[in-house]
Structure 1
């Protein structure tokens, strides 16, 4: 029951087929209710394959993104975070 409730409203998690959009898509980010608000803990994501386009030269830029946070009421769903980061692939920004 708790798992079903946690997955409610998540569209990427468990999808049989994933569509990778290559246009900037902040709407890809999804969150779910933190089931353990009674204590503090760290959530960490390491994203070693981040790519985007330089808005001046159009050349690809590469980087690693480290995200660490202590969740309060909501948490970021990891697959949706990956899809969000992929959406920068053809996006020109600093």
Structure 2
């Protein structure tokens, strides 16, 4: 397959005229072909500057969002993911909603074998909230992996020192 064919549909990477979204827009997400679809491997994104708004007070919330997935045929392009996550900064959602919206959009986009999203939000009002969700493709070994990881998730939580 030619390089142009492999990268077909990627319009944001290398584009100097990037427009940053002001609102949530999953249509900004782009994919490219996985060159190793016969191998299971993890891809991990760390977004230490994730922001959203509290849907009640309108106050900003800050988090590091971790996205790990095992691709199948498609992979998410990182610049489009950055712009997609940037679109949450003016959106009012609870922390738990943010991670579930992100995972649902990425499942719809890529149809991965496995994916997990973990938001580690900074404390506000003296409490931090760290929602975690995952998904394993039904009928595959990854369905059981998802349950096992969820059941054992955060059994040894880190020491919190006001982040």
Indicate the TM-score class for this superposition, using the shorter chain for normalisation. Answer: over 0.9
* Correspondence for 1:48: 48
Report 1 or 2 for greater relative contact order, CA contacts < 8 Å, sequence distance ≥ 6: 1
SS in 2 for 1:87: helix
Aligned to 2:85: 85
1:6 shift after superposition: 2.2
Contact 2:34 2:73 in 1 (8 A): yes
Aligned residue for 2:38, secondary structure, equals coil
Query: Could you tell me which residue of structure 2 aligns to residue 9 of structure 1?
Result: 9
SS at match of 2:92: coil
CA distance in 2, matches of 1:75, 1:23: 23
State the match for 1:24 in structure 2.
24
Cα RMSD, aligned residues only: 1.2
Given the two structures, how large is their TM-score scaled by the length of structure 1?
Answer: 0.93
Unmatched 5+ stretches in structure 1: none
- Contact conserved, 2:54 with 2:92, CA < 8 A, in 1? yes
Q: Contact between 2:50 and 2:85, CA under 8 Å: does it hold in 1?
A: yes
Return the index of the structure with the highest Cα Rg.
2
Alpha-carbon separation, structure 2, partners of 1:44 and 1:2 = 26
Deviation at 1:80, TM superposition (A): 0.4
Q: Measure how far apart 1:91 and its partner are.
A: 0.7
Q: Does 1:66 align with 2:66?
A: yes
